[in-house]
Structure 1
Amino acid sequence: MDPTTCYELILEYIESHDYSEARIYAAILHNWLAHRGFYPEGCVPERVDEVLEHLLKPACLPGAMRTRFRSITCYDCDNGSQIGSLKEAIDDGWTAIIGDDDLKVTSHLGTCPLCRMRDSQELLT
Structure 2
Amino acid sequence: MSATREAPALRRQLGEARERIRQLEGELAGGFVPPEAWGLTRGETVILQLLVARPLVSMEAIRLMLWPRERAGDEVIYAHVVRLRRKLAPLGVAIESKRHVGYWLVDRERVLAMAGAREGAE
- Tell me the TM-score normalised to structure 1 length: 0.27
Bigger radius of gyration, 1 or 2?
2
